[in-house]
Amino acid sequence: MDRIPILKMGDALLITIQVDMHDRLALALEEDLTAKIAATKAKGVLIDISSLEIVDSFIGRMLDNIAAVSRMLDADTVVVGMRPAVAITLVELGLSLTGVKTALNVERGMLMIQNRLRGLGDFSGRRS
């Protein structure tokens, strides 16, 4: 199992991070994801990190990278399911994931992507 599965759900792709990430796996994920965005014309990427107890600078950089690459392919990235303790640690470490949108859970993340597609508001879900 050297690949993280990428699931298509409507206009979005869903990735659940469950295993310890390392360089090769992160690179493979980026490659697979860009190929899948191109193949499925997905407009959003949801990354669930609810099973991660620790998000270090490596994971933080990977999330930033994925968001940047997806943006180039016109897909928005939303990180969902971050544990409260992880959020506290990230801020304390000075890693505030500025390039990445977040939502409490998959459903809210999906709503953010759909709202933007429907032009119902800006990407945060607020009406403009």
- How many residues sit in the footprint of a copy of itself (CB under 8 A)? 23
41 touches a copy of itself (CB under 8 A): no
Q: How many CB atoms lie within 10 A of CB 23?
A: 9
124 touches a copy of itself (CB under 8 A): no
Is residue 44 exposed (0-12), middle (13-18) or buried (19+ Cβ within 10 Å)? buried
Please list, in sequence order, all residues whose beta carbon lies within 8 angstroms of the beta carbon of residue 20, skipping any fewer than 6 positions away. Answer: none
10 touches a copy of itself (CB under 8 A): yes
Q: Choose, by CB under 8 A, the member of 48, 79, 103, 112 that binds a copy of itself.
A: 48
φ, ψ at 76 (rounded to 5°): -95, 145
- Residues in contact with a copy of itself by the rule CB under 8 A: 1, 3-5, 7-10, 14, 16, 18-20, 48, 50-53, 81, 105-107, 110
